[in-house]
Chain A
Amino acid sequence: NAGVTQTPKFQVLKTGQSMTLQCAQDMNHNSMYWYRQDPGMGLRLIYYSASEGTTDKGEVPNGYNVSRLNKREFSLRLESAAPSQTSVYFCASSRDGSYEQYFGPGTRLTVT
């Protein structure tokens, strides 16, 4: 099992460009999450999806959109990137009734 995978690993964007971060899990989990982590900080929840076909806003959703394409995949889109979105983005998933989230390796995004 690969667990949670994320692509790309690194990305540099210019202000105003758009891109989609991809996430997939092979653990048959219902819940998936997108977090961002700024330097020296903890993780902050951007969006989550409790099941296929549902998504909800987290703590810092502005400037982002998400798509739960199917049970395996949960993508995060930046429509018009801003320097304030420079961060490391982590995708995670969890099983119903479990207290454990499984995290991907992260995508390091720089917006210039």
Chain B
Amino acid sequence: LAKTTQPISMDSYEGQEVNITCSHNNIATNDYITWYQQFPSQGPRFIIQGYKTKVTNEVASLFIPADRKSSTLSLPRVSLSDTAVYYCLVGRNSGGYQKVTFGTGTKLQVIP
């Protein structure tokens, strides 16, 4: 699976839009991209998944360019409760299970 590279940390003020970019240069044709959020002392929580172009749900948007070598998670109008670690994953469905690789994630600190 392709390795992912993300910024180690980011700071943002409350109410701003936050964009976290992830690089996955060696992504394969069948691979998909997911993002997870993790609060301290909790398990990761799924945010959004995409294959190409743009995907939006109630909490975030995911932008994937045509070459799929990167992706950007966009969080609109962040609040203090969005302070967490965000993981970009490249995954593949393999024989019924999901094969994914977690990187070290981006620690987002939202400032009042």
B43 close to A104 (CB less than 8 A): yes
Does B104 lie within 8 Å of A41, measured CB to CB?
A: yes
Q: Which of A94-109 touch B at CB < 8 Å? A: 94, 96-106
Q: Which of A4-24 contact B (CB under 8 A)?
A: 4
When A43-B44, A100-B49, A105-B43 are in contact, do A94 and B97 touch as well, CB less than 8 Å? Answer: yes
Residues from chain A with Cβ under 8 Å of B98 in the complex? 31, 94, 98-99, 101
Within 8 A of A (CB), among B74-98: 87, 91, 93, 95-98
Taking CB as reference atom, which chain A residue is nearest B34? A99
25 contacts between A and B (CB under 8 A): A4-B43, A30-B96, A30-B97, A31-B97, A33-B97, A41-B104, A42-B104, A43-B102, A44-B102, A45-B100, A48-B97, A50-B95, A50-B96, A59-B101, A90-B44, A92-B43, A94-B98, A96-B96, A98-B98, A99-B49, A99-B93, A100-B34, A101-B46, A101-B100, A103-B45
Task: Using C-beta atoms within 8 Å of the partner chain, give the interface range for chain B.
Answer: 20 to 34
With A94-B98, A105-B43, A106-B42 as contacts: A99 and B87 at CB distance below 8 Å: no
**Given the complex, which residues of A lie within 8 Å of B104, measured CB to CB?**
40-42
Q: Any chain B CB within 8 A of the CB of A51? A: yes
Instruction: Give chain A nearest CB distance to B42 CB in angstroms.
Output: 6
**Could you tell me if A42 and B41 are in contact, using CB atoms closer than 8 angstroms?**
no
Residues of A within 8 A of B (CB): 4, 30-31, 33, 35, 40-45, 48-51, 59, 90, 92, 94, 96-106
Residue of B43, B49, B93, B96 ringed by the most chain A CB atoms within 10 A: B43
Given contacts A42-B87, A50-B96, A101-B98, contact A106 B105 (CB under 8 A): no
Q: Does B7 reach chain A (CB closer than 8 Å)? A: no
**Chain B interface SS verdict (over half):** strand
Point out the residues of chain A lying under 8 angstroms from B65, CB to CB: none
Name the distance in Å between B37's Cβ and chain A's nearest Cβ: 11
Smallest CB–CB gap between A24 and chain B, Å? 14
In the complex, what distance in Å separates the CA atom of A99 from the CA atom of B45?
12
